[in-house]
Structure 1
């Protein structure tokens, strides 16, 4: 859950990127833990350490199809002088009462089956005649063992050391070991481990539900016919995909027309399924910037605060931003600019960390590193603003992709990094070291 965002330091206050981000991350709180079935917990963050209750594997078992024997009975065995042992029975995976193996005896054993009492090692079937009396088993005949239940004798042509081809009890993890640490994101391999040690449910922070909506009467859905002055709505698609990539369960709402009452009612309708709301468009100073009109005073009468604070940031792209909480549960809302590049960069810098914070992760930011700028000419940046340029990173070098315009969406498809130009830098020469945010 969240608390109300602090009030701005005056209407003309120019927020830095760091101030705005800090305000968001000190307001947004991790979601409350819940107990989930394993498959429902995929992508969630583990709340508690998980301790192994039952060793894995829980018993000594064979890693091969073959014969369980005593070491002394196969010592010195060769093709010229094979060890001939009495087969006393079969041991299959899941068998609870395997036969006792005594001197001069062997038990036919399958992969994963428990090592029978008395046996000390496993001889692979390829080292035997398979109980058929026809010489060593090779190729396809490795699967042509004597019929199940047929005992008789087996010829073994090679010796085996103690516990050869035996998976020891607890060789993977032992009872009392820590299987997974709190803070682990549960992927397929972690869920496999939890299931293997007998955990059917786990306590996690749920994946946050993020509702994304774009605003603008000019927006048309893909596959529809464009009229004069209309454009396709790409922001809601890119931001919904980005929210899912960040780990959220994201819901895309179709573009809302430039009508304050319609937007307000749509936001209220969506609150029931939102842990975080993201809007794009309508946060600037134009006559039809309906997000500001619709949400500026929502929650002002709430005793706990609430409402959305619209700000100007020392940032390019993404100068106009909005942040606050809305509704009875004080659901956090981030209002992003409408230009495609502005909205995407704003998402990466502000919304993604908020989503990761809701998940309960410790490291909520994209990785950053230093790279050498490769470019045909110097990069320019407006004084007093932190600029984020799209770039392509490889082998310690980064090159700009596309121009600086906030409408140039095509370059986003080819970028895998953001080049960061600090507020006090107005020009960056090729060959200079720059900070990059890796998006991959």
Structure 2
């Protein structure tokens, strides 16, 4: 049997990534909804549709600073004592003089009415006088106080915002599953909404395991490895919208690990561990959480998944509350890829977000790459838009295990299980990462 045939045979024993993800995500449910004050709703996902209880604007109002008037009074005035040539806008080149009978600000509340030949000085946001159908901008006038000379006539309706013009009462403002953005908070507030029902942000606890781990602030030495994963995955969980808590390092001690996980179930909606998912003698997480007791299977099932990097993944529940736990490999590159593939969709599902997966595009590959047979590879890459439409993707040096490549990437090039070589010029799938660059 050739090396290629051996690799294909081994790959056939792995669980396809799509099947594995489906089996995991089907076991998760969105967190129960909460009624939150509007000031706390940002960053959450709506649990139900939101309808405007009131119109916006709530009343007829001025959209600009100027003079609220009747359009028929300024559209065809006659020559009078204050006549001056007008640059544009008034038929016959005439200016118009109107009596200013009052001032209206945003805090004005008494209803007032225009009479022919009069106007009100108004500030943007002020309620319009009854009968007003135009606001003449200040800069189109002589800015008079008792009387105003208008040199240019705007179109009827200029500078006016009518009640309900933007959002009538009863408008569907957002559907369930919508992410609450700052702009959406503004829309809710403007239409009189003070509370919304949302899915809470999942509380995610991150634990790094291994006797070899030491905390950051020092360099690695033989027998010691700086704990990269718990810091990186805490940041990744926060980026995904979770309330992320870094517990830190747990040694490969069975009782310590069991006790730590049991304690964390009290404050977690999801627990993520890194390290110990393989089958080697030091892979304590797998040995402890998959151990059969009393004839029953362990709380976590570990699977060999057709994923590169990091084939060994675990999923199950721990504690009396049956809190979901995701077990990722200890190698930092594999842990970050595993988070993108498995943990991030789990967080999105718990949060009630749709879709749970990152957006993807089809892109023109700029460089020939090879990929392990039988594995779905996720490789750091830089994706860019092409002039005229479409995308290009450049694989980054070092492959999926390089942290520098992951830090630079704005996408993940995806090569399917059947792909061993992708030629330059071919079209490939790319996951788009949330990177501001």
Q: TM-score range with shorter-chain normalisation? A: 0.7 to 0.9
Answer yes or no: is 1:24 the counterpart of 2:24. Answer: yes
Give 2:326's match in structure 1, choosing from 324, 330, 334: 334
Tell me by how many angstroms 1:405 deviates: 6.3
Tell me by how many angstroms 1:225 deviates: 6.0
Give 1:319's match in structure 2, choosing from 289, 293, 311: 311
Partner secondary structure for residue 101 of structure 2 = strand
Change in CA separation of 1:384 and 1:71 when aligned onto 2, cut-off 3 Å: closer
Tell me by how many angstroms 1:170 deviates: 1.2
Answer yes or no: is 1:89 the counterpart of 2:102. Answer: yes
Change in CA separation of 1:348 and 1:225 when aligned onto 2, cut-off 3 Å: closer
Tell me by how many angstroms 1:372 deviates: 2.6
Distance 1:405 1:155 in 2: 71
* Residues 79, 158 of structure 1: 8 Å contact kept: no
Could you say which residue in structure 2 is the equivalent of 1:79? Answer: 84
Could you say which residue in structure 2 is the equivalent of 1:49? Answer: 49
Partner secondary structure for residue 272 of structure 1 = coil
In terms of mean alpha carbon deviation, does 354-363 or 118-127 score higher? 118-127
Structure 2 unaligned spans of 5+: 1-11, 78-82, 86-93, 386-390
Distance 1:422 1:178 in 2: 41
Tell me by how many angstroms 1:161 deviates: 3.7
Could you say which residue in structure 1 is the equivalent of 2:340? Answer: 348
Could you say which residue in structure 2 is the equivalent of 1:124? Answer: 137
TM-score, L = length of structure 2:
0.87
TM-score, L = length of structure 1:
0.86
Distance 2:374 2:291 in 1: 30
Structure 1 unaligned spans of 5+: 1-11, 132-145, 147-151
Could you say which residue in structure 2 is the equivalent of 1:260? Answer: 254
Distance 1:45 1:362 in 2: 9
* Residues 76, 158 of structure 1: 8 Å contact kept: no
Distance 1:82 1:382 in 2: 80
Distance 1:276 1:436 in 2: 27
Give 1:383's match in structure 2, choosing from 344, 361, 373: 373
Could you say which residue in structure 2 is the equivalent of 1:399? Answer: 394
Tell me by how many angstroms 1:388 deviates: 2.1
Tell me by how many angstroms 1:301 deviates: 6.5
Partner secondary structure for residue 273 of structure 1 = coil
* Residues 207, 247 of structure 1: 8 Å contact kept: yes
Tell me by how many angstroms 1:248 deviates: 1.2
Distance 1:72 1:383 in 2: 79
Partner secondary structure for residue 350 of structure 2 = helix
Tell me by how many angstroms 1:435 deviates: 2.2
* Residues 204, 244 of structure 2: 8 Å contact kept: yes
Tell me by how many angstroms 1:97 deviates: 0.7
Please give the per-residue CA displacement for 1:112-164, whole angstroms capped at 9, x wherever unaligned: 10111233322222222222xxxxxxxxxxxxxx4xxxxx3222233344322
* Residues 210, 250 of structure 2: 8 Å contact kept: yes
Following superposition of structure 1 onto structure 2, how do residues 192-211 of structure 1 map, counting pairs within 5 Å? Answer: 192-211=186-205
Please give the per-residue CA displacement for 1:226-247, whole angstroms capped at 9, x wherever unaligned: 5543222111122111111112
Partner secondary structure for residue 201 of structure 2 = coil
Distance 1:48 1:98 in 2: 38
Following superposition of structure 1 onto structure 2, how do residues 226-265 of structure 1 map, counting pairs within 5 Å? Answer: 226-265=220-259
* Residues 42, 191 of structure 1: 8 Å contact kept: yes
Could you say which residue in structure 1 is the equivalent of 2:267? Answer: 273
Change in CA separation of 1:438 and 1:100 when aligned onto 2, cut-off 3 Å: closer
Distance 1:405 1:53 in 2: 51
What RMSD, in angstroms, separates the aligned Cα atoms of the two structures? 2.2
* Residues 261, 318 of structure 2: 8 Å contact kept: no
Answer yes or no: is 1:294 the counterpart of 2:288. Answer: yes
Distance 2:115 2:295 in 1: 82
Distance 1:227 1:34 in 2: 48
Distance 2:427 2:98 in 1: 73
Could you say which residue in structure 1 is the equivalent of 2:300? Answer: 308
